[in-house]
Amino acid sequence: MAVACTDLAEGIAWVKERLGVAMQPGGKHVLYGTHNALLGMGDIYLEVIAPDPDAAPYDGPRWFNLDRFTGPPRLANWICRTDHFDPIAGPPRALSRGDLRWQITVPDDGSLPYGGAFPTLIQWGEGMVTPAESLPDSGARLTQLTIFHPDPDLPGLVAIDDARVAFATGPFEFEAVIETASGPVTLR
């Protein structure tokens, strides 16, 4: 899952206020002019991502639809690990940072497929220790992710194989229920 924001520090504070846990430094994505922070949540991780004000001017649309993002921090995308890329998600792009190597789908215009209802797909390099495996475990756990969309029966959505993920009819929005040390928290 990804929390989008216009200022990384603001996004980090937003997560900490709600979940009661500190995020870990992520890194910079030079290709897209962004930076992030991460939170280990067992078999998944939460990412806070924002444009990097120190990055060189970026010539093209940023991923995660960040060029069109406005307002306060909020859940804005979800990312699924895959071994097979679906063309709905956009073309896979090869990226790396430090010891990490991955391919991730990014439509040419930086948008999110189905307005964000279809996940961004990621494939980690062979033998990679992924952030979900290497981050300190925060103890927080995703128990339910509901993706609201006016047409939740869009092609490809029903193929998601994770009991924690559900689709519902409504204006586009994410709703994640996360179990924390203080009890369940709902993020939107």
Total structural domains in the chain?
1
Query: Is residue 142 in some structural domain?
Result: no
Q: Which amino acid is at 176?
A: A
Query: Is residue 10 in some structural domain?
Result: yes
Output the pLDDT for position 58: 72
CB atoms within 10 A of CB 49: 26
Look up the pTM and report it. 0.93
Taking the mean position of all CA atoms in its chain, how far away is CA 73? 13
d(CA 127, CA 13): 33
d(CA 129, CA 108): 28
Q: What tens-digit pLDDT sequence spans the chain (188 residues)?
A: 999 999 999 999 999 999 999 999 999 998 899 999 999 999 999 999 999 999 987 778 889 999 999 999 999 999 999 988 988 899 999 999 888 999 999 998 888 888 888 999 999 999 999 999 999 999 999 999 999 999 878 877 766 788 999 999 999 999 999 999 999 999 99
The SS3 assignment for 23 reads: coil
Output the pLDDT for position 24: 97
Query: Is residue 143 in some structural domain?
Result: no
Query: Is residue 140 in some structural domain?
Result: no
Query: Is residue 154 in some structural domain?
Result: no
Output the pLDDT for position 155: 79
Strand-pairing partners, residue 35, are 28, 50
Sign of the C-alpha dihedral computed for residues 155, 156, 161 and 165 taken in this order:
negative
Query: Is residue 55 in some structural domain?
Result: yes
Output the pLDDT for position 57: 75
Output the pLDDT for position 93: 93
Structure tokens at 166: 């559900």
In terms of residue numbers, what domain contains 124? 2-135
Note whether 145 and 165 are within 8 A (CB): yes
Query: Is residue 112 in some structural domain?
Result: yes
Note whether 40 and 139 are within 8 A (CB): no
Which among 82, 144, 81, 79 has a CA at the least distance from the CA of 112?
79
Query: Is residue 48 in some structural domain?
Result: yes
Output the pLDDT for position 158: 63
**The domain that contains 110 carries what CATH number?**
3.10.180
Q: Tokens 């092609």 — which residue?
A: 155
